């Protein structure tokens, strides 16, 4: 009896803590949406006023429609392109794939705030590239401050999300069918379009749902590119409500968040369903003894062209824009670059204690926080590993929930938790609050990393240990954990990069002591300190770059 208590206690504890961390802030949001004033206001009353207000507000519906259009368009761009890139990278003999692949994944590790800002300074109406294009060709026929512009940028920068799933599925596919098509005279692209990509349809569908749903949550991009034009999407509409009535309208913001969740959570569930199905698909694959690469022949120029163009637009343009803006005092039409070069912005950052603290905190939350986070995720992983009971299913769904809520609002909910839940109040102005919010927001992503490591340990090893009498805890500690340690190290690196990149979650948690670059960027952008935004963005990119470099050096797989 006692043995079973010591066995179940750690598991029950882990599940309880996880459930509290996820559900407390979310139920607070839900509760807030049913009030007519901030929940801590003495004059609050329950009711559906908040929903009535937003449903009567034409801006809400415009924002909803824009979100939908952008999400749909970016899916339409990202899925075919991601699938095609995956085909070229996985199935053909294109040269240089080894060093192209990391480049393909770069956009998913750069903060959307940084990317968007990069597009403004690079390709905005008077961006570097726009001005150069005008000087060279007499015109620059692109407008990034439009729904279409945002959708294209979002689509291109979300290609990696499709690419990782499509390429993983293609890896599992035998090449015999493709060869059959080639022998019958189909061109490589015909093979891709008619044979390979249809075969991995479940994965493509899965990533389509993913991209669509990410599109619904876009924040940084529409904040930077859409706001000046008055183009609202749901998350920026929510942000706007902070001030629309002059005083904070938490109930309205919470109501919008609940509406967003009403759209995204079914998508998350659909995704889960599709993932299960795609695994089923993968298990009935043909047993191809070897994977033969498809010779591209002259088509390789087209393939290289597509890849090159995409890398140029999605990676080089924004990042070079940031890099350039960080070193100039001002820019625009009629400004000569050589006249305005400066290192002043970096000096300003070095002299500004809060900025330096922000940089330091960002590193800290990524390195130390990332390690702790991986430890927590691992504990949760063990709590469900190889147990097919109701609790495991509960945790499976639980970890998906935060993914459906915009990070901005989770951050706000955590601020409330830290303000009004007495045991946590002393920790409010510490980095712990940011770390906890980050860990909850990225739970779904992290758990995928951990469980894919766990699944690589084949059950007979654990069973062997159990059969000689080891208890579950002992098996986990002495068998499973040592076996997955490299997987965990890799997860640590990925979590580090994700934490460096995160921005919206910490916006409302920003206080002295909790500064992180991501939130500072939003705040500085709102405040209009563009010089500092550029310099800080560049520093952020460099931090992520260091993580990426280490990951590549040690051969960490950059995806789950």
Backbone dihedral region for residue 332 (phi beyond 0: left; psi -120 to 50: alpha; all else: beta): left
- In the complex, what is the shortest distance from the CB of residue 529 to another protein, in angstroms, rounded to a whole number? 5
CB of residue 533 to another protein, shortest distance in Å? 9
CA distances from 90 to 131, 204, 383, 453 (A): 38, 15, 35, 22
Tell me the closest approach of the beta carbon of residue 292 to another protein, in angstroms: 53
Least distance from another protein to the Cβ atom of residue 203, Å: 41
Q: Could you tell me the two tokens for 336?
A: 């000569």
* Distance of alpha carbon 242 from alpha carbon 468, whole angstroms: 61
Q: Which is nearer to another protein, 416 or 499 (CB)?
A: 416
Residue 512, φ and ψ in degrees, nearest 5: -60, 125
C-alpha to C-alpha distances, 113 to 110, 314, 322, nearest whole angstrom: 8, 14, 11
Site of tokens 């995956």: 86
d(CA 327, CA 340) in angstroms, rounded, equals 8
Which of 414, 412, 416 lies closest to 41, judged by CA? 416
| Comparison of 35 and 181: residue with beta carbon closer to another protein | 35
Q: Which is nearer to another protein, 10 or 332 (CB)?
A: 332
Q: How far is CA 236 from CA 74, 244, 361, 409, 438, in A?
A: 18, 12, 26, 11, 20
CA distance 135 to 128: 11
Closer residue to another protein (CB): 125 or 174: 125
Contact footprint for another protein (CB under 8 A): 38, 40-41, 124-126, 227-230, 240, 242-248, 329-335, 348, 351-354, 415-416, 419-420, 425, 428, 508, 510-512, 523, 525-530
Residues in the chain: 560
**Minimum gap (Å) between residue 136 Cβ and another protein:** 18
- Judged by beta carbon, residue 247 or residue 456, the one nearer another protein is 247
| Residue 227 Cβ vs another protein, minimum distance, rounded to whole Å | 7
**Whose Cβ is closer to another protein: residue 64's or residue 165's?**
64
* Shortest distance, position 550 Cβ to another protein, whole Å: 33
For residues 176 and 195, give the distance between their C-alpha atoms in angstroms, rounded to a whole number.
11
d(CA 445, CA 377): 10
Please, what is the minimum distance in Å from the beta carbon of residue 25 to another protein? 15
Q: Which residue has the tokens 């130390």?
A: 368
Cα separation, 146 vs 357, in Å, equals 36
Which CB atom, from 333 or from 460, has the smaller least distance to another protein? Answer: 333
CB of 42 or CB of 284, closer to another protein: 42
Residue 482's Cβ-count burial label (10 Å; 0-12, 13-18, 19+) is exposed
Nearer to another protein, 5 or 338 (CB): 338
**Min separation Cβ 31 and another protein, Å:** 15
Q: Which is nearer to another protein, 35 or 197 (CB)?
A: 35
Report the nearest approach of another protein to the CB of residue 56 (Å): 11
The residue among 41 and 293 lying less far from another protein, judged by its C-beta, is: 41
Tell the smallest beta-carbon distance from residue 211 to another protein (Å): 29
Q: Are 321 and 118 in contact (CB under 8 A)?
A: yes
DSSP state of 410: H
Three-state DSSP state, 93: coil
What is d(CA 164, CA 159) in angstroms, rounded to the nearest whole number? 9
- How many other CB atoms sit within 10 Å of the CB of residue 198? 10
Report how far residue 66's alpha carbon sits from residue 231's, in angstroms, rounded to the nearest whole number.
8
Contact 326, 537 (CB under 8 A): yes
Shortest approach of another protein to residue 422 CB, angstroms?
A: 9
* Residue closer to another protein, measured from CB, 110 or 510: 510
Distance (Å, rounded) from C-alpha 217 to C-alpha 237? 12
């Amino acid at each position: 009896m006692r043995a079973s208590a010591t066995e179940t206690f750690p598991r029950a504890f882990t599940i309880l803590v996880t459930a509290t961390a996820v559900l407390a802030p979310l139920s607070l949001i839900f509760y807030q949406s049913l009030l007519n004033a901030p929940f801590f206001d003495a004059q609050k009353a329950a009711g559906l006023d908040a929903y009535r207000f937003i449903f009567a507000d034409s801006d809400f519906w415009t924002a909803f429609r824009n979100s939908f259009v952008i999400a749909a368009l970016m899916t339409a761009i990202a899925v075919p392109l991601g699938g095609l890139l995956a085909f070229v990278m996985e199935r053909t003999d294109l040269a240089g794939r080894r060093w192209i692949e990391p480049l393909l994944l770069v956009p998913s590790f750069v903060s959307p705030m940084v990317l968007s800002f990069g597009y403004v300074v690079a390709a905005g109406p008077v961006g570097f590239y726009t001005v150069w294009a005008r000087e060279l060709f007499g015109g620059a026929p692109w407008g990034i401050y439009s729904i279409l512009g945002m959708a294209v940028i979002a689509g291109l920068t979300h290609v990696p999300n499709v690419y990782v799933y499509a390429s993983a599925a293609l890896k599992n596919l035998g090449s015999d069918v493709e060869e059959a098509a080639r022998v019958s005279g189909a061109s490589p692209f015909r093979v891709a379009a008619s044979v390979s990509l249809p075969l991995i349809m479940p994965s493509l569908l899965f990533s389509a749902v993913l991209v669509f749903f990410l599109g619904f949550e876009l924040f940084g991009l529409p904040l930077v590119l859409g706001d000046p034009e008055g183009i609202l999407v749901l998350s920026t509409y929510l942000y706007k409500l902070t001030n629309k009535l002059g005083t904070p309208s938490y109930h309205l913001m919470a109501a919008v968040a609940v509406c967003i969740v009403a759209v995204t959570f079914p998508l998350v569930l659909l995704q889960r369903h599709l993932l299960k199905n795609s695994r089923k698909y993968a298990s009935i694959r043909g047993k191809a003894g070897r994977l033969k690469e498809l010779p591209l022949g002259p088509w390789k120029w087209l393939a290289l062209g597509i890849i090159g163009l995409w890398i140029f637009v999605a990676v080089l343009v924004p990042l070079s824009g940031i890099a350039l803006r960080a070193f100039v005092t001002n820019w625009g039409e009629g400004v000569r670059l050589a006249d305005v070069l400066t290192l002043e912005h970096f000096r300003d950052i070095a002299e500004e204690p809060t900025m330096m603290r922000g940089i330091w905190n960002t590193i800290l939350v990524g390195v130390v926080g990332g390690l702790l986070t991986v430890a927590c995720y691992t504990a949760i992983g063990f709590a469900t590993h190889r147990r097919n009971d109701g609790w495991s299913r509960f945790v499976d769904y639980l970890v998906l929930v935060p993914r459906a809520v915009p990070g901005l609002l989770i951050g706000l909910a955590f601020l409330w938790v830290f303000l009004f839940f007495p045991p946590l109040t002393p920790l409010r102005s510490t980095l712990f609050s940011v770390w906890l919010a980050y860990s909850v927001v990225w739970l779904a992503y992290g758990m995928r990393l951990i469980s894919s490591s766990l699944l690589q340990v084949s059950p007979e090893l654990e069973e062997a240990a159990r059969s000689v009498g080891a208890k579950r805890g002992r098996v986990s500690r002495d068998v499973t954990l040592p076996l997955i340690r490299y997987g965990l190290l890799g997860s640590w690196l990925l979590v580090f990069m994700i934490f460096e990149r995160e921005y919206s979650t910490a916006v409302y948690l920003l206080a002295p002591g909790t500064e992180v670059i991501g939130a500072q960027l939003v705040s500085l952008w709102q405040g209009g300190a563009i010089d500092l935004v550029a310099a800080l963005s560049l520093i952020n990119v460099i931090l992520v770059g260091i993580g990426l470099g280490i990951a590549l050096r040690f051969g960490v797989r950059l995806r789950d």
